[in-house]
Amino acid sequence: MGVKVLLVGISLTFSQFLAAQNNEGKMKLLVIVNAENNLKVNLNKSPFLYGGILGVLIAQGIADEANERKSVELQKLMTDFVDYRFKHASTIKENLMNKNSMLDITAFNKRDVAKYFDAKAKLNFDQLKADGWKNVLLINEYLGYFRSDKKDNKFSVCAASEVTAYDVAKEKSLGKVEASKLKGDVLFSEEEISSQKNILIDNYAALYPGLDLNMYFRLLGKDLFNKMAITQGMEKEFPSVKNALSKYKKTFEVKFPEVDGWKKFATGNDYLFVNAPSKDKTIMAISSDVDLAIDELGQKDLDINEYVALRISRLKEANFEVDTVNEMPKLSIGNDWIAYMITHPNKGKSIIVHRKIDNFFVSHEMVLLQQDYLTLFNKYKADIESYINNSYLISKS
């Protein structure tokens, strides 16, 4: 339905800012990046379809075998390409600390901290305790290609991270998240990815800022920063996002109009709503979200212009092309909406509008996944305007 950035962000309160400036009260994390033997190809396609659970397992097994075979070919091609194994650890510290200056991160490649692993490649908690570490982020990193266009058999350069947070004192995992980033502006054929080394060499490093951005927000959203902060007595500096969302979802209600020929889709998220025309739901949708202007998330004092600037900065960090200058398709909506466009990696555009209502930021994204996006927009222009103009947020606070 379109690419979404995380809806709820955290910025620093004034007391947090002072603590950060004094280099006190920061949460110390050891980050270990494991990038050994990590070149992968994801064909993203099962060659056969079977019925039932057994059929799913068979199809997945066939897909895994095909992925493994293609990955081995890539590993042979890139035998002398070793920079990728060590590049990320040198940039992840800066990328994460730029998102939150309350973090104090030390990052290593796994090969440089062998003492922190036992003979079975498991974390050596005794050594971590001896060196004074309370929390560890262990990142298994993957680099390679993802089949982005099945029809034309085209691939994007892709990086992915599996991140596990650990409580060293209790010698246990606090949870795991996965993040990925595609460089979808240029696609490559199967022949190209099997024969041209420079594709990965020239493109892989550009993925890390967007990958780290995704990873940061997934750690945040799953409360793993909060859980690690509790072990360091810093839960006030890293409040629970889940608790805040659970509390504030009861303070508003969103009403959407019934638009003929459109269907509502379940998202499993109290802050995210998706509607799409039944006939074109694979290429057109309106994704609406509600964000919170509250103390717990450090966004209470943001006005609408500051909030839009924050959203745009996240999109740019995720390598989206944002257009705030050129004339956009005309929408007959209220003057209190701020609008801009983004370009999707493969094709199409999104028109995004924001406004502030009481302590809430309301956003609508019109996703137009078609090269000739204006034709699609004009087809549904009246429906889009009806949807935006007749949607209401009711504050219960």
Tell me, yes or no, whether 218 and 98 share the same domain.
yes
Tell me, yes or no, whether 370 and 251 share the same domain.
yes
In whole angstroms, what separates CA 164 from the centre of its chain? 16
Q: Which of 231, 265, 292 lies at the terminal end of a domain, its last residue?
A: 231
Strands 321-323 and 154-167, by their bridges, are unpaired
Tell me, yes or no, whether 250 and 366 share the same domain.
yes
Could you tell me if residue 181 is left (phi over 0), alpha (psi between -120 and 50 degrees) or otherwise beta?
beta
3-state secondary structure of 109: strand
- Residue at 236 is within a domain: no
pTM comes to 0.75
Per the DSSP assignment, residues forming a β-bridge with 135 are: 167
Between 185 and 182, where is the model more confident?
182
Between 300 and 342, where is the model more confident?
342
**Computed from CA positions of residues 277, 281, 283, 289, in that sequence, does the dihedral angle turn out positive or negative?**
positive
3-state secondary structure of 113: helix
Looking at residue 391, which CATH number applies to its domain? Answer: 3.40.1000
- Residue at 6 is within a domain: no
pLDDT of residue 319 exceeding 90: no
**Residue 210 · residue 181 · CB < 8 Å:** yes
Tokens 């110390």 -> residue: 28
The string of pLDDT tens digits covering residues 257-306 is 999 999 999 888 899 999 999 999 999 999 999 998 876 666 778 899 99
Strands 27-34 and 103-109, by their bridges, are parallel
Q: Domain range spanning residue 206?
A: 26-231
| Minimum mean pLDDT range among 20-24, 201-205, 243-247, 294-298 | 20-24
Instruction: Check residue 59 and give its pLDDT.
Output: 47
Share of the chain above pLDDT 90, in %: 41
The string of pLDDT tens digits covering residues 61-91 is 555 677 888 888 888 888 888 888 888 888 9
Tell me, yes or no, whether 221 and 192 share the same domain.
yes
Instruction: Check residue 135 and give its pLDDT.
Output: 98
Tell me, yes or no, whether 186 and 326 share the same domain.
no
pLDDT of residue 310 exceeding 50: yes
Instruction: Check residue 13 and give its pLDDT.
Output: 40
Instruction: Check residue 44 and give its pLDDT.
Output: 66
In whole angstroms, what separates CA 172 from the centre of its chain? 25
**Computed from CA positions of residues 311, 312, 314, 320, in that sequence, does the dihedral angle turn out positive or negative?**
positive
Tell me, yes or no, whether 110 and 250 share the same domain.
no
Tell me, yes or no, whether 191 and 171 share the same domain.
yes
Q: Which of 180, 202, 231 lies at the terminal end of a domain, its last residue?
A: 231
Nearest-5° Cα angle at 172, 171 to 177: 140
Query: Residue 313: pLDDT band by 50, 70, 90 thresholds?
Result: confident
**Chain mean pLDDT for the chain:** 83
- Residue at 16 is within a domain: no
Tokens 């996240």 -> residue: 314
Q: Which of 231, 255, 278 lies at the terminal end of a domain, its last residue?
A: 231
No. of helices (H) and no. of strands (E), the chain: 11, 15
- Using CA atoms, how far residue 87 sits from 34, 177, 205, in Å, is 11, 21, 8
E strand or H helix at 159, and its extent? strand 154-167
Tell me, yes or no, whether 245 and 266 share the same domain.
yes
Instruction: Check residue 279 and give its pLDDT.
Output: 92
**Number of compact structural domains in the chain:** 2
Tell me, yes or no, whether 84 and 213 share the same domain.
yes
Strands 27-34 and 135-149, by their bridges, are parallel
pLDDT of residue 133 exceeding 70: yes
Tell me, yes or no, whether 185 and 308 share the same domain.
no
Between 67 and 250, where is the model more confident?
250
Residue 144: what residue type? G
Tell me, yes or no, whether 246 and 310 share the same domain.
yes
Query: Residue 2: pLDDT band by 50, 70, 90 thresholds?
Result: very low
Per the DSSP assignment, residues forming a β-bridge with 103 are: 27
- Residue at 90 is within a domain: yes
Query: Residue 21: pLDDT band by 50, 70, 90 thresholds?
Result: very low
Query: Residue 379: pLDDT band by 50, 70, 90 thresholds?
Result: very high
CA–CA distance, 69 with 354 (Å, rounded to integer): 46
E strand or H helix at 361, and its extent? strand 360-368
